[in-house]
Structure 1
């Protein structure tokens, strides 16, 4: 497995030669911000710059979004925000050069930030690791989809998962090229979500309220047992003591204050969940179970969902977007009132786990 020009191995790689780090340059406050990756050869003791574009900065406090799965699988986009617009900043991975506009200041790193990059071929991945504040240099590594023996190392360090992703998708309807592939397969490997008996996940199907209760309960690791007090809902049907579904899962989420009924006596378990409802319940889960995990939304923040001002769900939707719970989902034209699909909710919950675990978003303050 040979390195390509401009692609960099981490120190633990088989070559054990190349490492990479990032430098930040800025002409003036509110001026041009440039970033470049440098490759250091540990044998020759030489530096090689990997050039990247520059971008105009229009506010001092902005957020570099984590790489998101490109809908067309052709590039990875970091986003910059200001008070009036959302503008994508050019970032792509070329097969011969590594070009990224993630403007990171080594002195401003947060906790470990590990990200998967999807290359245009759909066959290879880049894994980028930044370091704690003042803790050294970030590394970039290459591996191909066939080198699955290395994946447990990544998963364990990134998600606390001692599991490997299978070389073949566990679901017949979740191909490698799908935007939700990494979220669904990773969570399945950890047994946080499940599919159907026919080996499908049915990612585009609307998610039911009962299914959401089970997913959020499992992801949050809430206790579920047959002796727990049940909520006052009369429309849950017969209680299945073998699977505890849906009664005890709904009870766990209800008792934790994550889900509510559609009335004082009904839960409507087989109704669809809207995207707005999903965002609200996931934000509510984070705020109740892990207070302070999600950041408050700055007054100047203007996102794709800025026009969604529903009194019940609007604030939670904005909080979800600001905290990257919607990362990976194509937001332009995304209707919050549409039915949430199984893939969308899996992606949101995956993003929540990233924030809750050692993977943290990087905030850049110039």
Structure 2
């Protein structure tokens, strides 16, 4: 049996396009990946970032699930510090009622934005994510309907009451989330596309610390990687230039739309800029299908991941589609 591949979609908005274009491209890509044999299609949550249209994964999940037949559709993820656990539980139970056995609930503890926007979302000045473990347990308790007898929420039911909470995945880019997922007994997704340095120890910690729970009997993990795949190395490198400038702008506090490769090549980079791009490129898999597959399999061997989730951001929607097609062919995914 081959490696299971899935998709993480941030709904990128590219220069010269509208937000409507971005979400329509997401629906088009989801339909394609449904046919190609990908397992999951997760939607992200980000705020105050003009180049990312996915601010409400629960809304996007419903649209993607309606447009597809086979994919498991989920959040990659819901940033729990921005939300009331009861509301998240009810939203995802309702999605599970609409699309039985096709929904995943991925949860993150980062706000998915800058500190001021996080404060605007929560209307609170408390440290974002500080109470994440408590929020997580609260959400799971709403999912199971089981609170301690002395808990103030013991009589509150997450509606619909006759629908289960979808499978819960804990997302993270450090061993904190890995160990928390293990101790609670949840599936774990490591964001290699954010932090490529800690993937191996975090995944090892998850498996070593895992305790079976009512949610999961054996450890289950996936890695999310950034990929740009094309017919030739030269074409892949051409498309990757868009991400070079995108992430440079992001760390400079000036996020914008995903630029074209031509825009990126016309930009005047400083020596410090080029040093940053060099370090950033270590977590980006760029190349032909054979080269990208080799790097993915090597990473899977190092981390013992059960699945790999692919995040591809390319200015050209057709080239982005082709990248997913090439990977599906390289890994021998069974078309539907």
TM-score range normalised by the length of the shorter chain: under 0.3
Higher fraction of helix:
2
TM-score, structure 2 length as denominator? 0.28
| Larger Cα-atom Rg | 1
